[in-house]
Amino acid sequence: MSTAARTYNQAHLPRERNGRRRISIYWTWSYPWEAQRDPAEMYNRFSTMTEVRNALWPSYETTEYDAAHFLQGIAGTLELFHRSTLAFQDVAGTVTGHPVAVFQRIDQAGYRLPIDERILADTDTLMVFGLDHLLSEQEATAEEIDAIRRWLQREGTCLLLAPHHDVGFSDDFAQRAVEYAHHGDPLVPRQQRFGQYTRSLMKALDVPVHNTWGLRPAVTEGTREIAPLTGLRDLDAARLLDNVTTFNFHPHLPHYALTRPESQEVRVLGRQRIDPHRPHPFTADGTTEFNALIWMPPSGPRAGDIVLIDSTHFTTLFGGTDSLKNLWRNLATMAYG
């Protein structure tokens, strides 16, 4: 991990095109809206840092995370997400020679940054991390959609969409209780619905995917290690799964449900086995896996790729393995136009 001095509150410096991918992360949230949710609210909010420390005690009982050094409210948890991508940023930066740029739709200081040429001009891979709660009503504007469409006509671009889970979408409290028992995470409320911004992008760009549920992966019997990914490697011309055997264990991962049948234009590359010991409405009909990785190769006027995978797999909050680092390298070194 780099020990260079950290900077804040300055404009992005464009990265020159040199034949290697320039990667950018875009957090879709309004940081102020998320950080200022009432901690007394039971649903649709992030945990406070105090709640995280209590649930994961004693993992964060160090000086680094005490009140004199780290935010203790919801903002502290949002900062954990930022910290959790540093390992990915380090790997990608080493592979590409470019720093990974990190943007937020509305940042801590209240600056709003839509996706436009300021982001796209020096970006080859744009990773859109969909962690905005539906209630915050983040929607892609017509101008953003037009800008992304034009950008995707540029050869060598890749749009990675990462809408997070949709837990407790039913009004049926009994179903919510089953979902909560399935994932077993006390830090996730019985209703937590993410991803309006990415949903609006998927609709506008004709990406036939809907993020739903929050599913707990199976583990290898007798261990606490996530079960191997079911990789459809014969469909993986992009080579995203080279030397990738597992993704990240996270107790509530989204299922990327297809809204039209699989085809050469929409390829499910990876499915994850679901914990068979914890009932869930999604598995009631005998379903055993959920869609974890989808690839849409260039098609028609779209010269760029579209990839769908949860943002959790680019963080270290929930662990990290050599397999994940291989995924990161594969994404960073995708064929470049």
Task: Specify the length of the chain in residues.
Answer: 337
pLDDT at position 337, please? 60
pLDDT at position 289, please? 98
How do residues 207-247 score in pLDDT, each as one tens digit?
999 999 999 999 999 998 999 999 999 999 999 999 999 99
pLDDT at position 318, please? 61
How do residues 144-171 score in pLDDT, each as one tens digit?
999 999 999 999 999 999 999 999 999 9
- Residue 2: pLDDT band with limits 50, 70, 90: low
| Average pLDDT for 260-265 | 97
d(CA 217, CA 249): 7
Question: Which pTM value belongs to this model?
Answer: 0.96
What residue segments make up the domains of the chain, in order of their start?
23-171+193-213+253-269+292-332
Q: Could you tell me if 311 and 130 are in contact, meaning their C-beta atoms sit under 8 angstroms apart?
A: yes
- Write down the residue that tokens 């609006």 correspond to: 200
- Residue 9: pLDDT band with limits 50, 70, 90: confident
- Residue 317: pLDDT band with limits 50, 70, 90: confident
d(CA 153, CA 235): 23
298 — phi, psi (to 5°)? -50, 145
- Residue 335: pLDDT band with limits 50, 70, 90: confident
| Average pLDDT for 242-256 | 96
d(CA 162, CA 164): 6
CA 81 from chain centre, in angstroms, equals 10
How do residues 164-210 score in pLDDT, each as one tens digit?
999 999 999 999 999 999 999 999 999 999 999 999 999 999 999 99
